[in-house]
Structure formats: structure tokens, C-alpha cells
Chain A
């Protein structure tokens, strides 16, 4: 035994130097490998391109929109979109029943959908992650209490609660954001809790404890970066969820109030005309579908990117 031990001493510096360079293969930089992976994933690529377009359209809406989305013009009511025989270049996607330009309202509506999706997902992300991490890390009684809260939340039908609250407080953009933020945290909590439980007993956490790191340091700096990739996937899912719920609430008249150009509200306002001018609800409806599809593609893609090599 002692003979083998002393023999292998000499090989120590050699093995310490053997790395990627030693193999003679060209070294692929980290960003290039990540880019290849991104371009190679078709769903993620398509989703990001569509999402990118919608985000740009929302940001630059005031410059892109051909008309003011709020200006009414009774003489220009219900002009059909350009592919229709009566369409005009003045209003590419036509006008609604009050003569407002549909394309402009659609562009400004993207701002509302994205704002609601992002802020509601972030609010629920903070609530759910905090609860989930605390439950997973401390376990025991803390876990029992928080798990009970999660179960209670899961037992509530989101749409019913949202409808009841909206009816009580009255619909507005801020109200919808706060309401959805306070309702959609359950998936964050469940994912954060289970991923934290997996890492709680990891030796790098023990090592930070022995070094005297505070619990908040361990949770925020050591643990959180390791569960973030799972949470980012949940953020995309909940964003899509929040956007759809906002459209539902607005369609039912309890969400964003007119004259704000929410896509759900546009569908709602057009529903009286849908048998004769179907484009009035088809345009915002399809846009909504494409946005949610793009967000879900990005979420799926991010999950695949984070999965270990060779697993789908």
C-alpha cells in the first residue's frame, strides 16, 4: 500500500496540467457554445424571435403606431383590414366600432399584455420563491405551515377569486396586476421548495455554514443561484398564464377598463360583430395566441437548455 502511494507522487503535477488544451482540439469559447446551442434549438429560436418582435413593437409603439389609439372617428367606423376588398392603406388592420385604428390599438395593447405578464409573474415570483425556499430549507414546522398555505392557495380557483375581487374592488390595470401577482405564486413555491430540499444538505451549503456565513447569505448567495434556472422556466409559464387571465378578466369586463387598448378588451368589444366582421375578434385573438405560444416556446427551450447534456 505504502509503495503504491509513494510511486504515484511523481504523476501529480502531470495530471494537474492535463486540461482541454492538452488534447490538441481547438478550444471553443463559452459564448460560442451557448450560441450554437441556442440556434440549434428550433423552438427556442422561433419563440425568441417572435417574442423579440412583440417586445420591440410594445416599446416603440408611439413611433410605430400610425394613429392615436384613443382618437375616435365615427365617420371611419368598422373599416375592414387591408386584405379585405374594402380595406384602405390608411388603416392597415381596419378600425373598430368607434373608428379607432386597430393596428395602433394592437401595438399599444402589447404594452399592456407584456406589462401585466411581466410584473404579475415577478410579484408572484418573489412571493412564491420566498415561501418555497424557506419551507425547503428549514423543513419541519416551517415547512408544514407553508405547505398548508400552498395547499390552501391551490384549492382556490384562480378565476373565481379574481372575478370576485375584481367585482368588489373594481377593475383597473393596477388592480389586475396586484390580483394576479397575489394569486399565481403557487408554482414558484412548489418548484422552489423541492429544488431547495434537494440542495439543503449539499456539502457546499454545509461548508458555508462552517465558515460562519449567515442564513440569509447562504439562502441568497449560495442557494438561490442554483435554483434560478428552474424558476426562470416557471416565470415564462406564469407570464403566459397572467396574460391569458388578464384577457379573460378584461373580456368579462372586470379587468382593464376602456378606453385602454387591452387585447382581451378588444375581443370583448368586438364580440357583437363577430358573425359579420370576424376580423374584429380574430386579430386580437390570434395576436394573443401567438404571444402566449412564443412565451411558452421560450420557456420550454430554456428548460431544455438547462437540462443535462443529451436529455430532452
Chain B
């Protein structure tokens, strides 16, 4: 058993922005010195406003972007380009938009079995068996397996994406806003499915979201990101009941309540947390 399923050491990603031919490029620190540890079996929620670097962080963990500085450790192994192929069996993503994450020209069966083919797991027959088993597990009716993604609803597509992510039996899932493209009733089904799978398969989740309601429902620990930095992390109770950092307090107070008579939340003064970071 590794000590940490996922460990980020001082991870940074800077972008050079060119403003024009004559002016000097400015540096955008999308992710700036983030350190994070997720023990096996834990669900960590990463929250923050749009553009705070959550998705850049996810891309670095998945190896889609190389970090400017720092390193990512998966099950205590440092990720480099050389062992990326092997790491696909330990770490898999679930993307935000199920309308763009499935190749529209492939059948559901081809999509779910692709990881097995790429990693040459078993023969044709055993691959088909595990596709069927996996689609049962995520609640995908078998008759949909020979359809194309365009014929499926958003929730069904996200189930396909989950099946594809799980078929190599990874221990860690990186969920980058897995429900934000779905409507509310379907969101709940997908979230419950993710939680059931965690119980059943003992998965570790990095759950990236801007939806605090979802995060509160699901996660064990919360990390709050603001302007590329991690400003606060703690257990769910710590963050939701007793937030220390002014940005976290502002973020929590901005959540819309389901009760219409309460009106819109009052925002805290901007300067309070801008100075603190």
C-alpha cells in the first residue's frame, strides 16, 4: 500500500503571454507552488472560482501539460514521460463535457474497450466480457453498446466515460467537474454512481468542482484554490463550518440557497482576501 495515492510537490505551471511585438512578455502563474497529498481511499475536493488553475492542475496530473516546476507522484512514483503508459493503469480522468469526451465516430463498445486494446489486456473475448461487466457496473444497458455517442443522453454518455476510465482498474480517478455539463437530476445520479463505485472498488478521488453543494455532499477533505495557489485545506467540517481564509469565507457565503425568499447572497468585500493571498 503506497503512503499517498497522489502527491503534488510544489507544482507550478507558468504561461508566457505575448502582448505584442515590442512589449516584454508577461508571466501568468496559472498554478503556483501547489503541494497536496491524498492518501489512498480518500476523496479530496478541489474548489475555487473559474480561472483559478483547477483545470491546469488536473491537466498536469494527467500528463497533458508538463509542469514548469515541481513534480507529481502517483502511488509514490514520480511521473515522467517514460512511465506515462504504465501510469494510465493507475490514474484515469473523467472529463467535464461528456459531449466532447467520446469519439462521435466510434460505438460505445469500441470506446469502452479502447483502453484494453491499447494496453493489450487479455484477448478479444475477455475484453468483450469485461466491457459487458463494466457497463453493468456503471448502469449502462447492454443494448446501448452498439450505439454511437450521439444517440445517448448526457447522463448515459457520462456513464460511458466512467466505464472507460475504470476498465483498466485504476486506483485513482481525477474528476474534472464531472457533472457541470449535466442537468441537475442527472448530476445526482452520476454523483451517486461515483460514490457507489468508490465503495465497491476502493477508489481514490480528486474531485475538482466549483459547485460547493456537490463537494460538501461527497468529499472527505477540501482544498481551496485561489489565483493559482492553495489558500486553505482541511476536512470537510473544518472548511464548511470554520473557514479560516477570507477567500474561503467569501466563496462559502456566495453559495446560492435553494430557498427563493432568502434572495441573493451578500458578497464580502473583495479587498479582504485579495490582500491576504
Q: Do A and B bind each other?
A: yes
Beta-carbon contact of B95 and A207 below 8 Å: yes
**Looking at the complex, which of B36-44, B114-122, B126-134 is the stretch in contact with chain A?**
B114-122
B105 interface residue, CB < 8 Å from A? Answer: yes
Beta-carbon contact of A15 and B155 below 8 Å: yes
Residue in B95, B140, B188 with the greatest tally of chain A CB atoms within 10 Å: B188
Given contacts A8-B188, A204-B101, whether A210 and B139 have CB atoms under 8 Å apart is no
Residues of chain A in range 1-27 having any CB-CB distance to chain B below 8 Å: 1-2, 4-6, 8-9, 11-13, 15-17, 19
Contacts of A209 on B, CB cut-off 8 Å? 63-64
Beta-carbon contact of A204 and B102 below 8 Å: yes
Report the count of interface residues on B (CB-CB < 8 A): 45
By DSSP majority rule, is chain A's interface helix, strand, loop, or mixed?
Answer: helix
A269 interface residue, CB < 8 Å from B? Answer: no
B68 interface residue, CB < 8 Å from A? Answer: no
Beta-carbon contact of B100 and A202 below 8 Å: yes
Residues of chain A in range 187-237 having any CB-CB distance to chain B below 8 Å: 202-204, 206-213, 217, 222, 225-226
B156 interface residue, CB < 8 Å from A? Answer: yes
The chain B residue with its CB closest to the CB of A16 is B139
Beta-carbon contact of A210 and B189 below 8 Å: no
**Complex-state Cα separation, A222 to B149, whole angstroms:** 14
Contacts of B63 on A, CB cut-off 8 Å? 209-210
Beta-carbon contact of B258 and A212 below 8 Å: no
The digit string for B147-159, where 1 denotes a CB below 8 A from any CB of A, is 0000001011001
Residue in B85, B93, B105, B159 with the greatest tally of chain A CB atoms within 10 Å: B105
Contacts of B232 on A, CB cut-off 8 Å? none
**Complex-state Cα separation, A160 to B134, whole angstroms:** 61
B191 interface residue, CB < 8 Å from A? Answer: yes
Beta-carbon contact of A9 and B192 below 8 Å: yes
Given contacts A204-B100, A211-B114, whether A1 and B213 have CB atoms under 8 Å apart is yes
Contacts of B193 on A, CB cut-off 8 Å? 12
Beta-carbon contact of B97 and A12 below 8 Å: no
Query: Which of A6, A19, A213 contacts B118, CB < 8 Å?
Result: A213
**Complex-state Cα separation, A202 to B153, whole angstroms:** 18
CB distance from B146 to the nearest CB of A (A): 10
**Complex-state Cα separation, A125 to B191, whole angstroms:** 46
Query: Which of B102, B105, B139 contacts A12, CB < 8 Å?
Result: B139
The chain A residue with its CB closest to the CB of B189 is A12
Given contacts A1-B258, A12-B192, whether A211 and B139 have CB atoms under 8 Å apart is no
Residues of chain B in range 64-106 having any CB-CB distance to chain A below 8 Å: 64, 84-85, 88, 92-93, 95-97, 100-106
CB distance from B59 to the nearest CB of A (A): 8
The chain B residue with its CB closest to the CB of A3 is B258
The chain B residue with its CB closest to the CB of A223 is B103
CB distance from A125 to the nearest CB of B (A): 19
Beta-carbon contact of A4 and B114 below 8 Å: no
Beta-carbon contact of A226 and B104 below 8 Å: yes
B20 interface residue, CB < 8 Å from A? Answer: no
- What would be 18 A-B contacts, judged by CB atoms less than 8 Å apart? A5-B188, A5-B192, A8-B185, A9-B188, A15-B185, A202-B101, A203-B101, A206-B95, A206-B101, A207-B95, A209-B64, A210-B63, A210-B93, A211-B114, A211-B168, A217-B118, A222-B103, A225-B105
- Show the binding face of B for A, using Cβ within 8 Å: 62-64, 84-85, 88, 92-93, 95-97, 100-106, 114-115, 118-119, 139-141, 143-144, 153, 155-156, 159, 161, 164, 168, 185-186, 188-189, 191-193, 213, 216-217, 258
Task: Enumerate the 6 nearest inter-chain pairs by beta-carbon distance, A residue then B residue, closest first.
Answer: A203-B101, A212-B85, A225-B105, A8-B188, A203-B95, A1-B213
